[in-house]
Amino acid sequence: EHPTHWLISTQVRATAALANALLLNPGQNAGYAATAKSVLRSALSSIGFVTGLRYCDCSFPASDASKPEIVLRRWSSLDDSEWDVSWTPIWTAEACVDGSRGISFTTLLKVTNIALRGRIRLTFAADGSQLKVSFLETPAFRCDVACHVTLGQVPLPIQAELGRVVRDEATRWLDRTMVAPNAYRIVLSKRKPLSDDDLARAMEAAKIGAERAVLGSRFPSSPLPDKRGPGKL
């Protein structure tokens, strides 16, 4: 193998491994989960028939099973490369929603089987201080949204509306955050000590656990999956 080709191949493999390590680690995933909770909470609260949101939670574990498949499409240097990404992380989100449209209901909404596919550009700063990631165009996105009834009945049109709102809001977030000319930036710095936000997240997790225990003891669950979502990627 020509030395130049070997060097480029080594740089490519190193770039892919480094990007995965920087983008998908426990610290970053905790930040993604916090953002996802905020986006989901805002989206659900904007729906007219939603009268309350008991809790919203996300599970975004860092594991080899959640790493994306990436294929190099263009290489210029560390500060300019393009990759095709196919990503199906084992991440989930859920929210317990109170609502009313003719009848009152409580439903546990669960988001699973998240899938994302598109082409990204990676840009490492020359001084190694940050990594920028952006999709060249809006990526293909899908997820399954299911409603598990805990009180009353949730008509199918309402289930479909909840699923549509979740998917639409996720796509809008991607567009305004990660689709060119926008870019998601990761600043490479030393870990900071625990903040007030870290403590607030821990308290919220304890509250969610208590709420789940109450719901589990009071109401039976019967999953009603939303069948009107987009097809497979």
C-alpha to C-alpha distance for 158 and 147, rounded to whole angstroms: 10
Mean predicted lDDT score pLDDT of the chain:
82
pLDDT of res. 155: 74
The average pLDDT across 171-198 equals 79
So what's the pLDDT on residue 195?
57
pLDDT at 222 over 60: no
pLDDT recorded at residue 47: 93
How is residue 107 written in tokens?
Answer: 């439903």
What confidence score (pLDDT) does residue 78 get? 80
Rounded Cα gap, residues 33 and 20, in angstroms: 17
pLDDT reading at 226 higher than 50: yes
The predicted pLDDT at position 193 comes to: 53
Q: In this predicted structure, what is the pLDDT of residue 128?
A: 72
Summarised one tens digit per residue, pLDDT across range 49-62 is 999 999 999 999 98
180 DSSP 8-state letter = T
Give the count of alpha carbons within 13 A of 101, CB side only: 13
Token pair, residue 97, equals: 């929603």
- Name the pLDDT band for 228 (thresholds 50, 70, 90): very low
Tell me the average pLDDT across 179-183.
Answer: 96
pLDDT-derived band at 73, boundaries 50, 70, 90: very high
Tokens of residue 229, six digits: 């979502």
Query: What is the predicted pLDDT for the residue at 124?
Result: 87
Average pLDDT of the residues in 125-146: 91
Residue 224 has what pLDDT? 47
- Across 73-98, average pLDDT: 92
Q: What pLDDT does residue 19 have? A: 79
Which of 150-154, 195-199, 216-220 has maximum average pLDDT? 150-154
Give the confidence band of 110 by pLDDT, cuts at 50, 70, 90.
very high
- At 11-50, the pLDDT tens digits run 677 777 777 788 888 988 999 999 999 999 999 999 999 9
Buried b (16+ CB within 10 A) or exposed e, 133-149: bbbeeebebbbbbbbbb
Question: Any idea which residue has 């903040």 for tokens?
Answer: 195
**Three-state SS string across 123-154, please?**
EECCCCCEEEEEECCCCEEEEEEEEEEEECCC
Task: Supply 146's token pair.
Answer: 């299911």
